[in-house]
Amino acid sequence: MIDTAGQKPLQDSCERQKHSLEESRNALGEDHPDTLTAMLDLADCLWAQGRLIAARKLEEAVVEGRRRLLGEQHPDTLKAIGKLAVSLAAQGNLEQARQLQEQIVRGRRALLGDADLETLRAVNNLAGTVAAQGDFTRARELLASVLATTCCEFGERHPDSLTTMSNLAAVLWQEGDRAEAYALQQQVVESWRRERGEDDEATRAAAAVIEMMERDPGY
């Protein structure tokens, strides 16, 4: 049964976002920064509804608008490109998503350096797309590099370190290195438990991965 009551708040939110976008367009014009931000907000809402084609069209418009206004390497342009890359990957266009994410990594490195969290997150996102393409060796290399830098700069228990550990465990599992993957994911679970407790959402999500691994007949 479809939970129509649960969908209504999201529908109402999208309607408000549409109204806000139209007001901004009428008052400020299509390429005003506030209009472009409103487009991206609406795209996020449409994404949550599963309307990926409509969200992608808005994201493409924002990318082009910010390129014209701010240039290719501005942080706001890179943010919009990142959202577009996620939509492309979700729609199965992995090669184009990968090319955009590689551009984001280059841009973040140029702006912020190799050890900045935004740069490391961009590499992490790229690794996810690379893994989705089946290039597990390259994905593992990218994640191992991110993990080493994140642990060194921010500590092993930093949320980004733990997220990267979990991503690396997933790639190792897909490569067939089940023992190492399981051990690494156990470390993630134990760290989240110490940091946030047994009932935290991150702890539960990490523990669910362990349970999935244990149920896998190949383990």
Find out whether 151 and 145 touch, Cβ atoms under 8 Å.
no
Q: State both tokens at 3.
A: 């939970």
pLDDT at 101: 98
d(CA 132, CA 63) in angstroms, rounded, equals 24
Task: Name the percent of the chain in helix, strand, coil, to the closest 5.
Answer: 85, 0, 15
Predicted pLDDT of residue 10: 84
pTM for the structure as a whole: 0.87
- Cα Rg for the chain, rounded, in angstroms? 20
How far is residue 164's CA from residue 155's CA, in Å, rounded to a whole number? 12
Query: For position 1, what pLDDT does the model report?
Result: 43
* pLDDT for the residue numbered 128: 96
Mind listing the pLDDT tens digit for each residue in 63-113?
Answer: 999 999 999 999 999 999 999 999 999 999 999 999 999 999 999 999 999
Long-range contacts of 152-160 (CB under 8 A, 24+ apart): 153/115, 154/117, 156/191, 157/191, 157/194, 157/195, 159/202, 160/117, 160/120, 160/121, 160/124
The stretches in the chain having pLDDT less than 50 are 1-2
Cα distance from N-terminal residue to C-terminal residue, the chain: 35
